[in-house]
Amino acid sequence: MRYSALCFLIVCLAFTTKDSVAEDAAVGSPNIVFIFSDDHAQHAIGAYGGILKEVNPTPNIDALARRGLMFQNSFCTNSICGPSRAVILTGLHSHKNGFMTNRDDFDGSQTTFPKLLRKSGYQTAVIGKWHLKSEPQGFDYWDVLRGQGDYYNPVFLSAKGKETVEGHCTDVVTDKAIDWLSKSRDNGKPFMLMCQHKAPHRTWMPAIRHLDLYADKDLPEPDTLFDKWEDNAPGAKHQEMEIDRHMHMNYDLHLPLPEGFDPKTAPPSLSKAAFRNMNKFTDAQRKLWDAKWKSRNDSFANADLTGQDLVRWKYQRYVKNYLRCIKGVDESVGRIVEWLDENNLSENTIVIYASDQGFYLGDHGWYDKRWMYDESMKMPLIVSWPGVTKPGSVSNDLVQNLDYAQTFLEIANSEAPESMQGRSLVSLLKGETPEDWRDSVYYHYHEYPGAHSVPKHCGVRTKDLKLIQFYEFGEWEFYDLNSDPDEQNNIYTDPKYADRIAAMKVELNRLRNHYEDDSDFSEKPESWQKEKRADQ
């Protein structure tokens, strides 16, 4: 009897000690607020510069950059929504975490940083866009958008079930995040809140209060708006993401559907998806929406535009709505930072702003992402950590979303598993670049065939050079980013660069081996020929 009691006491002490260690590790650890948007390009943020800086699209995000550190060379590993989120959660490349395309289901049973933060004594919450199909795991609280989410009156899923909330999605997500901070968090624990927005993802439906923004001006056009992809591998000519040929007048640009429109009998030139978007409004919202657009839609109908004039009109309509959606996200950042300030939490809270990847804002004549070109491969990353990040500082070190998990874990004094493939950014946040910091990053896009017809490709990028392999089709591209930052001149066949290309191929193979990418890299030219015939 004494022996049994002693064993029981030892077991209890063991569990108590384990819990105490976690709690002790969490004491004094900073809170983490991770604000994450969808498809927000670096060059649509004032602090990052670019042609849209002059319209001041992001004053609150810019203010966050002035409080902290902005990463200039921040990249994703796979420029597509769900896979980027899976990489962030796991600290593993897509081929390792199993979520390579948006068609996949995320395996929530695997190790993720929220699970490890909970073990370290953190309270964890995710609110907003999830987009991983499976139910969130590793969170004390979750309240996420169903599927892709709707801009108006979105449906949320939580442990309590399904709920439709009236309002604009960005506002609703922000309200829910602040409500959780105010009423539901445990004041005795540090917290990690993931506030994740749908905006500015397609189809760019802003809050009605923002519809007049930029209405009285034309926004600058990118120099590559009428790119003909003459130096690119053939895949660039066979994509389906052109503002000219592929942007839908109803679904994307919100021109009114014909009176009496029936989605069951609609011709291909009209979008059934547009009907679904418009059908999400309440009657009052729809009335306000239609009133805002009527005069602009009438002006377009009377103009009878064609050719490049029509492309320019489509670009203006698109990029204005995109920036209007971003206005809501920027207001969200301001509201959350203000709440932290007012509740005396700012000094012990790290605020991070990022997006899942970049996006084309007419660059190369495109919208969407996926490619390894910088507009989609680059992603914003801004971190304010009072007392650690130097206000207004900028880092040019190469970082990836692969690094976030290990960064969060080091912040929480929690040990990261050896299986994670990134590197903690904490030293960089302190202004200290380790001597062995990486000088190249690895990229791999997997979703082909798929939406927008972007072929599978992988590659390596350094600060100055980029090598891309469209491996199934036996095609390569190589760019000198110093002389050609817009990646307009593919110099893969230029003999002057032969040595550098050879060195980059060696580095590409090294990174494949380092990250244990055992994907099938064999050529499938018959697949490419089929695509070419279909296009012709």
pLDDT of residue 13: 43
Please report the sign of the dihedral spanned by the C-alpha atoms of residue 163, residue 168, residue 173, residue 178: negative
Can you tell me whether residue 165 is helix, strand or coil? coil
Cα 433 to Cα 67: distance, rounded to the nearest angstrom: 20
For the stretch 8-35, pLDDT in tens is 444 444 444 444 444 454 657 999 999 9
Per the CB < 8 A criterion, the answer to whether 451 and 502 are in contact is no
Asked whether the predicted pLDDT for residue 216 surpasses 70, the reply is: yes
What pTM was estimated for this model as a whole?
0.93
How many C-beta atoms surround the C-beta of residue 516 within 10 A? Answer: 11
Q: How many CB atoms lie within 10 A of CB 2?
A: 6
Q: Strand runs (DSSP E) across 401-517, as ranges?
A: 441-445, 457-461, 465-470, 475-480
Cα 70 to Cα 375: distance, rounded to the nearest angstrom: 17
CATH topology of domain 445-535: Arylsulfatase, C-terminal domain (3.30.1120)
Work out the average pLDDT over 367-384.
Answer: 98
Residues in the chain: 536
3.40.720.10, 3.20.20.10, 3.40.50.720, 3.40.30.10: CATH of 2-205+319-429: 3.40.720.10
DSSP output for 371-402: SSSHHHHB--EEEE-TTTSPTTEEE-S-EEGG
- Written in H, E and C, the secondary structure of 179-190 is HHHHHHCCCCCC
Please give the C-alpha separations between residue 519 and each of 95, 198, 369, in angstroms, as whole numbers.
7, 31, 22
Q: What is the pLDDT of residues 409-462, one digit of tens each?
A: 999 999 999 999 999 999 999 999 999 999 999 999 999 999 999 999 999 999
Residues 124 and 140 sit within 8 Å (Cβ to Cβ)? yes
Instruction: Give the model confidence (pLDDT) of 219-270 as tens digits.
Output: 999 999 999 999 999 999 999 999 999 999 999 999 999 888 998 898 888 9
Q: Do domains 2-205+319-429 and 445-535 have the same CATH topology?
A: no
Kindly tell me if the per-residue pLDDT of 316 is higher than 80. Answer: yes
Domain ranges for the chain: 2-205+319-429, 445-535
